[in-house]
Chain A
Amino acid sequence: QQPVQSPQAVILREGEDAVINCSSSKALYSVHWYRQKHGEAPVFLMILLKGGEQKGHEKISASFNEKKQQSSLYLTASQLSYSGTYFCGTEGTDKLIFGTGTRLQVFP
């Protein structure tokens, strides 16, 4: 039931765009996104809820396709600070189940 993330890794130059996908084998009510910088704790980015409601703290956009059971995170005009590993989290029984992560590296 672990969500599958793609791609596994992305390398970008500053200013380029990236899309990170998260797919689940089961119907979803919500999807979480977190970012973890190397050696640090994951930090919450946003929650996408069924019906379109979105809770977030940064200027990063995302979509949630309920029919496809998929969420996508859009990173536009990437900055060096965007580097890190991005995890999606989907609902399990009483808990979140995190994907294996997508490693994003942004170079000058």
Chain B
Amino acid sequence: DGGITQSPKYLFRKEGQNVTLSCEQNLNHDAMYWYRQDPGQGLRLIYYSQIVNDFQKGDIAEGYSVSREKKESFPLTVTSAQKNPTAFYLCASSISELLAGVYNEQFFGPGTRLTVL
């Protein structure tokens, strides 16, 4: 079955530590996204990538970094520079809007809940 996976489901981090969240998809999608969701809030875009080896900052990129070395993978690193990292992190993928000419539906992973101790 095709889909998008995130690991781990729950993650605990001490202040000052960097941590990497995994996101893998086997849908053959070119575009991938990272969102942050706080309780009662909407989805805020952290980073996105429309093609391998290229990515752009979203609305709240400070304190985060990403890489896109493979089409299937888009890991997110939460660095110690992120002052308030406790949140629910969602990864998504879609057919690249650059090719389809319209913003296609996004498929979301199950999310990683990060808690800073």
List the interface of chain A (C-beta within 8 A of B): 2, 29-30, 32, 34, 40-44, 47, 49, 55, 87, 89, 91, 94-101
Contact = CB atoms under 8 A, between A and B. Distances in A.
Interface residues of B, number: 22
B103 A40 contact: no
A96 B106 contact: yes
Given A87-B43, A95-B58, A44 B106 contact: yes
A86 to B, nearest CB: 11
B56 to A, nearest CB: 7
6 smallest CB-CB distances across A and B, nearest first, come from A41-B108, A100-B42, A44-B105, A98-B43, A98-B42, A101-B42
Interface of A is mostly: strand
Contacts of B41: 100-101
B50 interface: yes
B103 A32 contact: yes
B110 interface: yes
B34 to A, nearest CB: 11
B80 to A, nearest CB: 27
Nearest to A5: B42
Given A95-B45, A100-B42, A42 B108 contact: yes
A53 B111 CA distance: 31
Nearest to A31: B103
